[in-house]
Amino acid sequence: MRRREFLAGALALSGCAPMPQSYARDGAPTESLATRARRSGRWFGAAIKSRQLREDPDFTAAVARECDIVVEEYELKRGTTEPKRDRFDFSGADQIIDFAQEHRMRARGHALVWYAANPDWLEPALQAADHAGREKLMLSYIDAAMPRYAGKIAEWDVVNEPLEPNEGRADGMRQDSMWMRALGEEYIDLAFHHARETDPNAMLFLTDYGVEHDSPRCERRRTAMLKLVDRLMARKVPVDAIGIQGHLKPFREGFNQDIFARFLKDLSDRGLSLSITEFDVADRGGPPNPDKRDREVASIGKAFLDVAFDNPATQALLCWGLSDRYSWLSNFPDYKWPDGQLSRGLPLDDKMRRKPLWDAIGAAFDAAPAARRQASPRSHNA
Ligand code: G3I
């Protein structure tokens, strides 16, 4: 696969061959992305919300058609599931997992330990507890969530977004985190060891964002991620895989395939599996013409995914949403369009029609070498 340098805004001029349109304009069904992913031994899917399953049959049908793996966009986060201490509401996640079971899909759990989306009662409780009490407060959520979905959720984001070099720590760790404040970096060790004991059959992921682009910001994050992984491996922490979120912003930062490929190899050479767990493309700042913007979004998507799937350790691609009808990008201040138009960073438009990005994802799967798929934990880390 040819490696190319992609500069923001020059994407459409980068000599990319136009995407072969494998979707019929009239919407006639062609092979789904999950089918094309499976040919290279990979999963394709998306983040969903239970409300979409209850209220939007078009969207639900699109998920059933295109996906064979799903993840909860917010309904397994502790702020949603444990609004009051030891009072749980897993109803949203239950509906998503029931849907996955009904459609024989793999499922991800997102996320057991995160610095964000926690209930208001948690940090004061951490501050009032002694060290043992703080550990218990973190592990109690693992005890509540993992067994409930044992055998149904095959892989968990055990620790999400532990890095933040912008906060100034030499090791690039996120200091502004209730977990770092309460337990120090060893919160990660504790979370992974407990998760392994709680569900020995689940694949355990460490996930983060901002490692994709050719920018000083992303280079600092890649360096911090590799150093963290080496410390965790030296301490025999049972991390099976790295989740690279894949929130691209091509109209703000460049992309260099060789740089990203080298990072993925640095991770897979350490024996880790990889997944792209939250893929989308922030299109604000792209061409005003939606068709032209769609083509540039597809071009960066293909360039990124060609590299990701070139590495046999990459086993899955999940988009952070499947349709522009429901993208978080359309509501997030940094990415939303000032005129209120929907972001166009997902493979289906707001009417569930396949876009050039859908073709780009399919073409990347079609061209991908076989994955070294690891559906369960690495033996030597058990
Ligand atoms: O659905 C409830 C609604 O009933 C309630 O009235 C309302 C009150 O605030 O909240 C609604 O839930 C919101 C939920 O999204 C569903 O829309 C939550 O407040 C809101 O915090 C939640 O935001 C999610 C955010 O993570 C925080 O959990 C976004 O949907 C989700 O896209 C975003 O996803 C994160 C990943 O987990 C980690 N990586 C970055 C990514 C994007 O920020």
- 15 pLDDT more than 50: no
Q: Is 113 exposed, middle or buried (0-12, 13-18, 19+ CB in 10 A)?
A: buried
**Percentage of the residues of the chain whose pLDDT score is greater than 70:** 91
Nearest one of 281, 362, 271, 301 to 42, comparing CA atoms: 362
- 287 pLDDT more than 80: yes
- Global pTM reads 0.94
| 245 pocket-lining for ligand 1 (C-beta < 6 Å) | yes
Atom of ligand 1 lying closest to residue 320 CA: 32
DSSP 146-200: TGGGTTT--EEEEEE--B-GGG--TT-B--SSHHHHHH-THHHHHHHHHHHHH-T
Note whether 63 and 70 are within 8 A (CB): yes
State the pLDDT at residue 22: 44
How far is ligand 1, taken at its centre, from the CA of residue 11, in Å? 31
CATH architecture for segment(s) 37-367: Alpha-Beta Barrel (3.20)
| 88 pocket-lining for ligand 1 (C-beta < 6 Å) | no
Mutate to test the pocket of ligand 1, among 71, 277, 328, 336 (most ligand atoms within 8 A of CB): 328
State the pLDDT at residue 12: 41
- Tens of pLDDT, residue by residue over 255-265, are 999 999 999 99
Note whether 33 and 357 are within 8 A (CB): no
d(CA 325, CA 235): 44
State the pLDDT at residue 232: 98
- Tens of pLDDT, residue by residue over 202-229, are 999 999 999 999 999 999 999 999 999 9
Band the pLDDT of 17: cuts 50, 70, 90. Answer: very low
Mutate to test the pocket of ligand 1, among 51, 73, 326 (most ligand atoms within 8 A of CB): 73
- Backbone CA torsion sign across 171, 173, 178, 183: negative
**Beta strands at 273-281 and 247-248: parallel, antiparallel or unpaired:** parallel
| 157 pocket-lining for ligand 1 (C-beta < 6 Å) | no
Q: What are the backbone dihedrals phi and psi of residue 240, each rounded to the nearest 5 degrees, phi first?
A: -90, -35
